[in-house]
Amino acid sequence: MSRTSSGTYKIAIVGAGPAGCILARLLQPLKVDLTIFESDPSPNIRAQGGTLDLHEETGLYALRKANLYADFLQLARFNGDALAVCDKHMLRYLDLKSTKENSWFAQGKPEIDRAVLRKLLYDCLSEGIIRWGYKLKSMNTSTLELRFENGIVKGDFDLVIGADGAWSNVRPLLTPVQPFFAGMGGHNLIIPAAKEKFPELENFINRGSVFAFSDGRVIMGQHMGDGSIYVSIWGVRGEDWMREAGYNVSDGKAVKKALIEEYKNWDGRLLKLIQAADAEKVTPRSLFMLPVGMRWESRPGLTLLGDAAHLMTPFVGEGVNAAMRDAVGLAEAIDLAIQDGGGKECLHGRIRKYEDEMFARVTPVQAKTEDMMHLMFAEGAPRTVIEKWSIRAMKDEMNLFLFTLFRLYVYIYFFCFKMLY
């Protein structure tokens, strides 16, 4: 009897990020023959980025499905979701309090550092399920044989899943479409031990986030669970901005000097976020995205999830949430294929349905992310667009009646706000 006819599958997941790991967690009870191949040689080889807020119907839903919600609660911060949206002079257009401050204007979205979430997800997996240091070099799409840069070849898979992020090596096997430059570039900086070294900045960030937009640029400060402050500085730039910057974009001291000059007419508290940053922990980045609504023709034995399938910019915070929800849908598709008898044609049919559902679910999220990005970098933002930005942020979160009331409230509120300030 063949493996697939007995109701089980041999599955390869390429990528051990949040999407790949939570998918593996969801698949473990199905007793499939499962391996994750990760290009990083170890889990802590590189920085994982800032903090995340997980959403009820996506990220938190996935954690509940994976029986990890209780563990998540031990790590999450419910006093870290305060958010201030302001301009370069620190005029606050929105000031959302943290959940624990019991304000009607609280977001109610628990925060967790990316590195902490990833550790939670890979620690829950069976020992040996992740193969570190396996960077995919090529794949035979007929035999589903994987060749890795370390010279090792693995094959005989029923399904290969690309969970390998923005520059996925699996995606080109399904579509020629690649990410394109989103028109934004900048740097990530870190202020270690901010509470001890810079208590004024700790109070300024208020255990949450401050987003300051003006002049086609943004300074974003986020409180991290380890007591540091994660700073993101983005601006509208050309795709070759790193080469044309006029300074070494990887030299932390040169970067800080250039940024202080570029933002010299911004509020001193925002400048302090640059001045206090560790010059040894400065990372240049360009932002890329996949086209809104991108699809591919379903192919037996291959599929994608997360950034590999629908890369977005970070300005709405939906990327990891969407990826974790993808994992739930894909795990359910594989489970149903096993229940249906386990044949390869059955598996392909279920995967095709998963992909159709994912396309339908994620396309509006991609559109929202793109809209919000363009609004906040528009001329005169945030003052000229704050109403549209606020309404767009909530458009998909309410029923029509509540949304109509909310929209009316927003226009009245900001009309009065602009009369006063």
Q: What is the pLDDT along the chain (421 residues), one digit of tens a residue?
A: 345 444 589 999 999 999 999 999 999 999 799 999 999 988 877 666 788 888 899 999 999 999 999 999 999 887 767 889 999 999 999 988 766 554 444 455 678 888 899 899 989 999 999 999 999 999 998 889 999 999 999 999 999 999 999 999 999 999 999 999 999 999 999 999 998 999 999 889 988 899 999 999 999 999 988 889 999 999 999 999 999 999 999 999 999 999 999 999 999 999 999 999 999 999 999 999 999 999 999 999 999 999 999 999 998 889 999 999 999 999 999 999 999 887 889 999 999 999 999 999 999 999 999 999 999 999 999 999 999 999 999 988 889 999 999 999 999 999 999 999 9
Q: Find all residues with CB under 8 Å of 23, minimum gap 6, and list them.
A: 13, 161, 163, 305, 326, 327, 330, 331
Contact 311, 326 (CB under 8 A): no
**90 in any annotated domain:** no
CATH number at residue 195: 3.30.9.30
CATH number at residue 123: 3.50.50.60
Question: What does pTM read for this prediction?
Answer: 0.92
Contact 5, 341 (CB under 8 A): yes
Contact 395, 371 (CB under 8 A): no
318 vs 53, 101, 200, 322, CA distance in Å? 9, 24, 30, 6
321 vs 22, 49, 124, 129, 172, CA distance in Å? 12, 15, 19, 23, 24
130 and 232 fall within a common domain: no
Domain containing 399: what range? 395-420
Q: Which two tokens stand for residue 14?
A: 């390429």
**277 in any annotated domain:** yes
CA distance 288 to 286: 7
Total structural domains in the chain? 3
CA distance 237 to 295: 28
**389 in any annotated domain:** no
Amino acid at 35: T
197 and 157 fall within a common domain: no
346 and 250 fall within a common domain: no
197 and 302 fall within a common domain: no
156 and 139 fall within a common domain: yes
Alpha carbons within 13 A on the beta-carbon side of 395 = 14
**76 in any annotated domain:** yes
302 and 266 fall within a common domain: no
**262 in any annotated domain:** yes
CA distance 216 to 184: 10
Contact 225, 103 (CB under 8 A): no
Count of beta carbons in the 10 Å neighbourhood of residue 54: 22
334 and 230 fall within a common domain: no
CA-based nearest residue to 160, from 148, 151, 149, 150: 148
CA-based nearest residue to 358, from 288, 296, 289: 296
Among 244, 270, 288, where does a domain finish? Answer: 288
170 and 295 fall within a common domain: yes
Strand duo 136-140 + 130-132: pairing: unpaired
pLDDT score for 136: 95
24 and 161 fall within a common domain: yes
**216 in any annotated domain:** yes
59 and 129 fall within a common domain: yes
Q: Find all residues with CB under 8 Å of 213, minimum gap 6, and list them.
A: 85, 86, 87, 88, 376, 377, 381, 382
236 and 352 fall within a common domain: no
pLDDT score for 108: 53
Among 270, 288, 306, where does a domain finish? Answer: 288
343 and 251 fall within a common domain: no
Among 239, 266, 288, where does a domain finish? Answer: 288
Burial classification of residue 129, based on how many CB atoms lie within 10 Å of its CB (0-12 exposed, 13-18 middle, 19 or more buried):
middle
Amino acid at 419: M
**39 in any annotated domain:** yes
**95 in any annotated domain:** no
